[in-house]
Amino acid sequence: MAADGFFRIALGVEYKGSRYRGWQRQASGVLTVQETLENALSKVADSPVSLLCAGRTDAGVHACGQVVHFDTQVERSMKAWVMGANINLPHDVSVSWAKVMPAHFHARFKAIARRYRYVIYNDQIRPAHLNEEITWNHRPLDVERMAEAAQYLVGTHDFSAFRAGQCQAKSPVKELHHLRVTRHGKMIVLDIRASAFLHHMVRNIAGVLMTIGAGERPVEWMKEVLESRIRRSGGVTAHPFGLYLVQVEYRDEFELPERYIGPHFLTGFTELDG
């Protein structure tokens, strides 16, 4: 119980972000994932529902491992929360699980790590499929160069050079646990896990890696950008369509349901697991 008479419910959520102006509720008439999901859950509860999420995604960014929570006095089965929400949601948002949580659980503040994947389609010809779910790069990209450059970022660093100007994080210092770059046919996947992320951090890293992969800058440029701590030294911000929030991690005490690491079209590539 979250408080006397209230239940705290956590949900696993996935969405295609292409139509939305990001996660966070905005002014009236602006389509967001938060408002869409709150409206669906409010119909299940027959009362207003207000959500808190593990990580606010930007416009166009996707999620297959988002975690949210809300407090409610309404008693429903977990199946009812999942199925009821999905009946009332559009095709590009889905609830995958629900669980009653202890009062001290918080989707954002109790998270100990977050994981993103950035998917690049690397070919001269623009793809007709998944065009809003991957980033197309027509330049031949050298994955070995990208993987080598990525290692400069692993560890605890000041990531100011990869931080958007409107970022509200208190500190630019973050611990990056891993940054893997792998090729799977025409697709290149950046898999990045950290304690937390700055605004546009993954997209800015992706932009630098693609520039290095295309041979336009040396591998060592990644180190130069990082140590500069100046955003303008890092080039362009990569497109949001290839970015997915794929996992949010919590301590074992919360026993949240485990699902595959997405997005869906990558689940057959077992070498990505880990």
Distance CA 165, CA 146 (A): 25
Distance CA 111, CA 263 (A): 20
Q: Closest Cα to residue 144, out of 179, 183, 185?
A: 183
Q: Are strands 173-184 and 155-158 parallel, antiparallel or unpaired?
A: antiparallel
Distance CA 211, CA 139 (A): 9
In this structure, what token pair is assigned to residue 263?
A: 């997005």
- Residues in a beta bridge with 155: 176
Distance CA 274, CA 40 (A): 34
Question: Is 152 annotated as belonging to a binding site?
Answer: no
Q: What is the DSSP letter of 235?
A: -
Known catalytic residue at 273 = no
Write down the catalytic residue from 58, 92, 123, 158: 58
41 sits in which H/E element? helix 33-45
Is omega for the bond preceding 263 within 30 degrees of 0, making it cis? yes
CB of 203 closer than 8 Å to CB of 236? no
Distance CA 157, CA 257 (A): 31
Task: Tell me which amino acid residue 169 is.
Answer: A
Angle between helix 221-228 and helix 201-213 axes, rounded to 10 deg: 150
The CA–CA distances, whole Å, from 92 to 43, 65, 239 equal: 18, 14, 19
Enumerate the active-site residues.
58
In the annotated binding site, the residues are: 116
